[in-house]
Amino acid sequence: MNHLSSETFKENAKAALADVQLRGALKNATSLFGERRKAAAASLPNWEDLRTHARAVKDEVLLHLDRYLEEFVRNAESRGATVHWARDAAEANSIICGLATERAARIVVKSKSMTTEETHLNDALEAAGMQVVETDLGEYIIQLAHEPPSHIIAPAIHKTRQQIGELFTAELGMPPTDNVDQMTSTARMKLRDRFAAADVGISGVNFAIAETGTIVIVENEGNIRLTTSLPRLHIAMMGIEKVIPRFADLDVFLKLLPRSGTGQRLTTYQSFITGTKRASTDEGPDELHIVLLDNGRSRMLAHPVTRQSLACIRCGACLNACPVYQQVGGHAYGSVYPGPIGAVITPQLMGIEKAAQLPYASSLCGACREVCPVKIDIPQLLLHLRGEISPRKGSRAERLAFKMWARVMTSPSLYRLSSVAGRILQRVMPISRAWTNGRDLRPIESKSFHDLWANE
């Protein structure tokens, strides 16, 4: 199941709304995440200043992205890393498959990376004959279930513990249980065996520091540390927008990201990796390769509104805050990036014609903008994208209806006439089915405000 397309959001959403278990899991998770984020943000007196500052840093980077990328590459390479540039998903996958194949790799361990989800790297590695093991617990669960992630930071958020217990029993031979500690230790045992045997470790990147050539990766479980320490080859894939100018900028981002994502002051582990180890007897991989992925990102620089999309630090807060995501979950979006941020970056990455329904998957309530740690104006972006879609898609009938509405609203006599007509017509004909299918339309009151005002 569940490899849904973003072209069919409306149907996907309808199916999700009928799934009682899914809605229970979503309600539980999104409200808990939301409460924790709120408490964590409130614990810092200067939260708003931090957001403003972080956004200013991101804007600075994006306006000079070429320069900062070149600085990052120079510093990473001078300390022993090898950097690769990939224009699109196919190029990124072929670089990584090539590196693994040249070293006769058979077993690949991966830590969570949205960018490799975006390029469908696992399929490419498997096609090249490799065994690929996701090691983040949530990613491991969905890999066993053959499903895509449904949340940016909690990929298996749509599943109940009972469902995961049954999955582990079927796939891993775990004795039946819904005890979370037991499931966790089963995964630990199974994955340790793979870590010990792995030839390649593949990770994502949270921040890449131009000034030092450092990549920073944050986590709670410890699987990123294992992935980037045990195998002799470490490959890190990052979108080109992940670069930040200075090491000191981490202060603000490491305050915002964990608080917005999970409500923690700091996640359990941060790994700062700068090139390769200095002595061959030291711990760590012999080789570090960093893949810089464009895949549609540089296009977003062309307009100040779309450019904001590249400021995203992938915390997932907008998903939890969104009344649409809260009801339909991540799979309905048919994209590795769901929720409000997914609704704006998916059409830009995949092409607007492939995801034309997503910018409409929002009530424009603005909750996403309120929680965004880098102040991305997602409603503005949604409207901008709708503007790109509607000239192509708006029907003649729709245009005519709005024209008539404008006439009526600008003429007092036509307005009075229409409200009288509306009161009569609402008894005999349903208004718009497409509108009332999912909502209640309040009937027009028998007396208008004008009537009441005139009579009192």
Partner 1 sequence: MSNSARESILGSIRTHLAASPAVDDQPVTSANPVIPSESDPVNRFKESVEAVSGHCIVATDAADVLKQILTDLNAQRVAYSDNPPNAHDIFHFDVGVSTAQAAIAETGTLVLDSDCERHRLVSLVPPVHIAIVNASSIVETLGDALTLLQKKEISPAITFITGPSRTADIELTLAIGVHGPQELYVIVDGSK
Q: Using an 8 Å Cβ cutoff, are 278 and 80 in contact? A: no
Closer Cβ to partner 1, 184 or 426, answer by number:
184
Cα-Cα end-to-end distance for the chain: 62
Min CB(94)–partner 1 separation in Å? 9
C-alpha span between 178 and 175 (Å, rounded):
10
User: Residues 265 to 324: which contact partner 1 by CB under 8 A?
Assistant: 265-279, 281-284, 292, 294, 298-304, 307
Among 14, 38, 79, 386, binds partner 1 (CB under 8 A): 79
User: Residues 207 to 266: which contact partner 1 by CB under 8 A?
Assistant: 212, 214, 220-223, 225-226, 229-230, 240, 247-248, 250-252, 254-255, 262, 265-266
Among 26, 86, 236, 238, binds partner 1 (CB under 8 A): 86
| Residue 28 interacting with partner 1 (CB under 8 A) | yes
Residues that bind partner 1 (rule: CB under 8 A) add up to a total of 98
Min CB(1)–partner 1 separation in Å? 20
Min CB(266)–partner 1 separation in Å? 5
User: Residues 330 to 389: which contact partner 1 by CB under 8 A?
Assistant: none
Return the closest-CA partner of residue 154 out of 308, 325, 400: 325
- Give CA separation, 64 vs 50, 301, 423, in Å: 22, 10, 59
Element (H, E) at 95: helix 89-102
Closer Cβ to partner 1, 250 or 311, answer by number:
250
Contact code string over 154-183 relative to partner 1, x by CB under 8 A: xxxx-xxx--x---------------xx-x
In angstroms, what is the C-alpha Rg of the chain?
25
User: 58: which 2 tokens?
Assistant: 């991101």
User: Residues 30 to 59: which contact partner 1 by CB under 8 A?
Assistant: 32-33, 45-46, 49-50, 52-53, 56-57
User: Residues 89 to 118: which contact partner 1 by CB under 8 A?
Assistant: 91, 95
